[in-house]
Chain A
Amino acid sequence: MSAIIALIAQALHIALMLAAAPLLIGLIRRVKSRLLGRTGPSPLQPYRDLQRLLRKQPVLAGNASWLFAAAPAVSFAATLCAAALVPSFALGMTTAPLSDLIVIAGLLTLSRVVLALAGMDIGTAFGGIGASREMTFAVFAEPALLLVIFTLALLAGSTNLDAIATLLREGSLGLRVSLGLSMVAVVTIAIAENGRIPVDNPATHLELTMVHEAMVLEYSARHLALIEYGVALRLLLWLTLIGTVFVPFGMGDAAGFPPLWITGALAWAAKVGVLAVGLAVFESSIAKMRVFRVPEFLGIALLLGLLAVIFLFVSQGFA
């Protein structure tokens, strides 16, 4: 019985993530517009954009291979798998035993690598620029992420996200210096991984400053829809991850009383909403940095992650 309830929670979680991802992008665009003194489009605009893209017929470049056509679906599916593994409103869902942080990082890498390969497939300069830069940024983001995982795993005794969140929700670990440092590191990594300002500008129209946008420049119609949807889903995934690990309060139990899920969902919406508004404010108040500054930016996240682990060794409070 509880297994079925857990499965229902899982299905609800995936549906929620899928439904909320475009709204999140719309919300951020709206807040940014307001901060810049414009009215901005409705928060529902991303849904309409996706609808519009689905109604068009894609144009493939003459030399596009099967990989180019298949990449958006594979990339989106990998992101969706990762999103299914990051709990939003309830812990202990069906996939909880699978939700290993390194696996989630691996799935996100899969999503990125597939798109980078597709960016190289047509053989245009812009696709190459985007793919090269995207992989370069990942080179610096992933070790930093591993250090954060290292810290969390030392505290919780496992790299399983569900187990970590359960332990942190109990609050028995208290506020830790290491957790604080890790959170700063994770926020930095999340900004880079999602291609937000100051690392990359998702709204840019200048090709030379593009990273992710340059990589997917050749895509249109349903392929582009999948890519944009995937970008939105990935941002939601990261914000959910930050909320689940560092602000684990209010989450329900998948095996528990279903109405409690509603409070969990409300808490999740609040966390993601606050983070999204914070992101919009941050992006409005800062300029994009040069590409060769980005390794430094991520290097700082890496060093903070290192410092977090070192402080953990000092306090000797890990399992």
Chain B
Amino acid sequence: MNTAPGVWLSGLAAVAALLPVLGLVAAAGRVRSAYWGMLLLCGLGVVLCAGFLIGDSAAASLSVPIGLPGAGILLALDGLSAFFLLLLMLIGTAAATTALDDDGGYAATSPLLPVFVAAMATTLLAADGFSLVLGFETMSLASFGLVLTNHREPPVRAAALLYLGMAAIGGACLIPAMALLVHAGPAGVDLGFAAIRGHAPHGWRAIVILALVLVGAGSKAGLAPLHVWLPPAHAAAPSHVSALMSGAMTKVALYVIIRLLFDLCGTGQPVWWGVPLMVLGAVGAVLGALRANIESDIKAVLACSTVENVGLIAAGIGLALAARAADLPALAALAMGAALLHAMAHGLFKALLFLGAGAALHGAGTRAMDRLGGLIQRMPVTTGCMLVGAACLAALPPTSGFAGEWSLFQAMIAGPRLGGVVLQMLICVVALLMALAAALAAAAAVRLIGVAFLGRPRTPRAAAAHEVGYAAQLAMLGLALLSLLAGLFPGVVLSAAAAALRQTVGLTMGDRASLLHISPQTSTTGYSAPAIAILLGLAIAGVAWVVRRRAVAGHRRGPAWDCGFGAPPAWLPFGDPITQYGGGSFGQPLRRALGVVILGATERVDMPEPGQTRAARLVVRSKDPATALLFQPVIRWRGALSAQADRLQFLTIQRTLSLIFAVLVLFLIVIVLVEQL
């Protein structure tokens, strides 16, 4: 209000500029200093963003005289970017804290990690096309380098290569989208967002931009059908990097979608613009959540659940886009608010879960679900934090995941006001798919915790697991606390998003979001998380009190009943670990009911021939439909195309020249057509 808004922006720009310097410090061998510096800078970033949002300051901009000759770099801070920056800086702080643990494993990531955060901050702060693309592509490259950290393992190299390919496709779509947005005036090309806003695209140009943005930024966010790279890449990266990638980078991509489609494309777009986002989001949510019930690597499970949550958020953004176009600002604010709330909630709890998965990997030496088990005994803090994260993942009240999904469902339920029977039915089906995804996510959360953290240890290594260091515990506890607070006070998160809402849809949630409750309409009380929490607390206390007074106290320990099966033999001190449910068996009913149809899952018993001494195995295979329907045909076409191109190498000079001439003429014709249109 009274503070000059430029202060916050200058501070954040300084943070973004200083972070890469830390990369140099780390490269010079001073790893711990670099992480301490990153911790301090990200912490400062949190304070600056919070200060900007609390003060509800006016948007500010800043011109930096480096970058493109004559244009420089334009930076700006407004409500939308501050909201996402806050999330980024919170996760950055947690990642840096985790990396402070005395463990050689974090040194390898130290030069690139600050650069990665700085690139994301630049993307969020960018106010012209050049710096946005620069930040986005630097973010892709830095994260590619980080995914490659354990490059000696072949699956990591494969995952990183796939990721690089998808990033290239993303860049190849985002740069033309920017080029189409930019308006060439008499004074030359002005890349600034202000100039772009003045000339909103329309007609075919706008449709092409929509498609390019959905592919370019959507592939980075993990929007179906371009989500295939995400589970392997997020699983392969070191865990504190996965936390940043899943928690923050997917949100930066969503921010780019919002910035380009809501802000730069103007308000004059048709209603159907929201439909692709809604449909892709809902389909991706179901795909991701179903795969989360089938994957056997705990980090892949978490990454698949990221695909699910990004899908839910994208559906909310799509509804907001449609509602704004239909001139229903209240509905648009509800949908957009829900999307932003869920983005914040998901960013926090997914970072928490990835840090927890990293702790399990550190303490028990594996990510494979079927080699873990019983960690609750040996790693109580990690398991406690994972329980909080899983409760958010399963959208249990009163956690932040529930608040986000509750508001998303409220928006969908209000969606039919858009009118048009076909659109109404579509929204109904989208809501149905979202509910299916939410229920699948609950099953995935139970599977993750139940198999990896509860039960009996499946390997001696898991039985001897040890708790992670205090810094990593502190990071997890901090994120768990933030998740709980965001769940108890979703209205506060929505107030923090007020400026972003005003900017994107022209209306805030107003008195629909307050400290104690959020509601879809002004007149009614919707969901009051503190009240539900108090009710729940009272009920638990009451039950405990009655049980203490009326029931026999204490308990005895004995062998597990297990329907009368005998005690385990002496050479298996924890019992035969195979006689409990594992990841494959827990997911089997869902794999049979839905996986066969959607993922083409097959299972086959690999029975050894008589005389062989190896064990029988159950071989389960499944394939993401995006791979089968999109990527494999593309790969085939590429092969066919390269075979065709191969023939061109053996042409006569005359034919080569005529080919070049034909291409030139075609190019000129395209230019003429573009000029005419």
Do A and B interact directly, with beta carbons closer than 8 Å? yes
Given contacts A132-B589, A153-B413, A226-B543, contact A125 B562 (CB under 8 A): yes
Residues of B within 8 A of A121 (CB): 376, 450, 454-455
For residue B451, which residue of chain A has the nearest CB? A120
Q: Is B432 a contact of A106 with CB atoms below 8 Å? A: no
Residues of A within 8 A of B172 (CB): none
Q: Choose, from B337-345, B527-535, B645-653, the stretch at the interface.
A: B527-535
Residues of A within 8 A of B374 (CB): 63, 123
Q: Choose, from A30-38, A141-149, A255-263, the stretch at the interface.
A: A141-149
Q: Is A150 a contact of B589 with CB atoms below 8 Å? A: no
Q: Is A62 a contact of B557 with CB atoms below 8 Å? A: yes
Q: Taking the complex as formed, is B145 at the interface, i.e. its CB lies under 8 A from any CB of chain A? A: no
Q: Is B575 a contact of A123 with CB atoms below 8 Å? A: yes
Q: Taking the complex as formed, is A207 at the interface, i.e. its CB lies under 8 A from any CB of chain B? A: yes
Q: How far is the CB of B457 from chain A (nearest CB, A)?
A: 9
Q: Taking the complex as formed, is A81 at the interface, i.e. its CB lies under 8 A from any CB of chain B? A: yes
Q: Taking the complex as formed, is B409 at the interface, i.e. its CB lies under 8 A from any CB of chain A? A: yes
Q: Taking the complex as formed, is A13 at the interface, i.e. its CB lies under 8 A from any CB of chain B? A: no
Q: Is B450 a contact of A131 with CB atoms below 8 Å? A: yes
Q: Taking the complex as formed, is A133 at the interface, i.e. its CB lies under 8 A from any CB of chain B? A: yes
Q: Is A143 a contact of B439 with CB atoms below 8 Å? A: yes
Q: Choose, from A51-59, A169-177, A184-192, A280-288, the stretch at the interface.
A: A51-59
CB-contact partner of B443 in A138, A163, A207, under 8 A: A138
User: Cα distance A142–B439 when bound, in Å?
Assistant: 6
Q: Is A306 a contact of B428 with CB atoms below 8 Å? A: yes
Q: Choose, from B200-208, B392-400, B496-504, B599-607, the stretch at the interface.
A: B392-400
Q: How many residues of B contact A (CB 8 A)?
A: 87
Residues of A within 8 A of B526 (CB): 100, 159-160
Q: Is B547 a contact of A106 with CB atoms below 8 Å? A: no
Q: Taking the complex as formed, is A266 at the interface, i.e. its CB lies under 8 A from any CB of chain B? A: no
Q: Is A77 a contact of B539 with CB atoms below 8 Å? A: yes
User: Cα distance A139–B595 when bound, in Å?
Assistant: 13
Q: Is A73 a contact of B543 with CB atoms below 8 Å? A: yes
Residues of B within 8 A of A76 (CB): 539, 543
Q: Taking the complex as formed, is A98 at the interface, i.e. its CB lies under 8 A from any CB of chain B? A: yes
Q: Taking the complex as formed, is B273 at the interface, i.e. its CB lies under 8 A from any CB of chain A? A: no
User: Which parts of B553-568 form the interface with A (CB within 8 Å)?
Assistant: 554-563, 565
Q: How far is the CB of B234 from chain A (nearest CB, A)?
A: 24
User: Cα distance A69–B531 when bound, in Å?
Assistant: 26
Q: Choose, from B90-98, B259-267, B579-587, the stretch at the interface.
A: B579-587
Given contacts A109-B396, A120-B455, A122-B560, contact A81 B416 (CB under 8 A): no
Q: Taking the complex as formed, is A8 at the interface, i.e. its CB lies under 8 A from any CB of chain B? A: no
CB-contact partner of B551 in A77, A116, A218, A225, under 8 A: A225
Q: Taking the complex as formed, is A126 at the interface, i.e. its CB lies under 8 A from any CB of chain B? A: yes
User: Cα distance A235–B433 when bound, in Å?
Assistant: 27
User: Which parts of B68-101 form the interface with A (CB within 8 Å)?
Assistant: none
Given contacts A57-B552, A106-B397, A150-B413, contact A123 B455 (CB under 8 A): yes
Residues of A within 8 A of B577 (CB): 123
CB-contact partner of A102 in B406, B424, B446, B531, under 8 A: B406
Residues of B within 8 A of A78 (CB): 536, 539
For residue B537, which residue of chain A has the nearest CB? A77
User: Cα distance A217–B563 when bound, in Å?
Assistant: 8
Q: Is A61 a contact of B395 with CB atoms below 8 Å? A: no
CB-contact partner of A218 in B387, B429, B521, B561, under 8 A: B561
Q: Taking the complex as formed, is B621 at the interface, i.e. its CB lies under 8 A from any CB of chain A? A: no
Q: Is B556 a contact of A306 with CB atoms below 8 Å? A: no
User: Cα distance A108–B24 when bound, in Å?
Assistant: 52
Binary CB contact string for chain A from 20 to 61 against chain B (1 if under 8 A, 0 otherwise): 000000000000000000000000000000000011111111
Q: Is B446 a contact of A313 with CB atoms below 8 Å? A: no
Q: Is B554 a contact of A135 with CB atoms below 8 Å? A: no
User: Which parts of B278-321 form the interface with A (CB within 8 Å)?
Assistant: none
Total inter-chain residue pairs, C-beta < 8 Å: 269
CB-contact partner of B579 in A125, A133, A295, under 8 A: A125
Q: Is A222 a contact of B552 with CB atoms below 8 Å? A: yes
CB-contact partner of A106 in B395, B440, B447, B544, under 8 A: B395
Q: Is A107 a contact of B443 with CB atoms below 8 Å? A: no
Q: How far is the CB of A58 from chain B (nearest CB, A)?
A: 5
Q: Is A146 a contact of B435 with CB atoms below 8 Å? A: yes
CB-contact partner of B450 in A74, A84, A117, A157, under 8 A: A117
Residues of B within 8 A of A84 (CB): 535, 539
For residue B531, which residue of chain A has the nearest CB? A98
Residues of B within 8 A of A160 (CB): 524-526
Q: Taking the complex as formed, is B673 at the interface, i.e. its CB lies under 8 A from any CB of chain A? A: no
Residues of A within 8 A of B428 (CB): 147, 150, 306, 309-310, 313
Q: Is B454 a contact of A146 with CB atoms below 8 Å? A: no
Q: Is A142 a contact of B532 with CB atoms below 8 Å? A: no
User: Cα distance A63–B557 when bound, in Å?
Assistant: 9
Looking at A59, A127, A136, which has the most chain B CB atoms within 10 Å of its CB? Answer: A136
Binary CB contact string for chain A from 235 to 275 against chain B (1 if under 8 A, 0 otherwise): 00000000000000000000000000000000000000000
User: Cα distance A225–B521 when bound, in Å?
Assistant: 42
Q: Is A124 a contact of B394 with CB atoms below 8 Å? A: no
CB-contact partner of B446 in A59, A113, A163, under 8 A: A113
Q: Is A103 a contact of B532 with CB atoms below 8 Å? A: yes
User: Which parts of B407-448 form the interface with A (CB within 8 Å)?
Assistant: 409-410, 412-413, 416, 421, 424-425, 428-429, 431-433, 435-436, 438-440, 442-443, 445-447
Residues of A within 8 A of B539 (CB): 76-78, 80-81, 84
User: Cα distance A157–B521 when bound, in Å?
Assistant: 9
Residue contacts A-B, CB under 8 angstroms, 26 given:
A57-B552, A58-B556, A59-B561, A63-B574, A67-B376, A84-B535, A95-B535, A98-B532, A102-B409, A110-B397, A113-B394, A120-B449, A120-B454, A122-B455, A129-B581, A131-B581, A131-B586, A132-B581, A132-B587, A132-B589, A141-B439, A142-B436, A146-B432, A295-B594, A313-B416, A313-B425
Closest 3 CB pairs of A and B: A128-B581, A120-B450, A123-B455
What residues make up the interface of A, taking CB atoms closer than 8 Å to B?
54-65, 67, 69, 73-74, 76-78, 80-81, 84, 95, 97-98, 100, 102-103, 106-107, 109-110, 113, 116-117, 119-129, 131-133, 135-136, 138-143, 145-147, 149-150, 153-154, 157-160, 163, 207, 217-218, 221-222, 225-226, 291-292, 295, 302, 306, 309-310, 313-314, 318
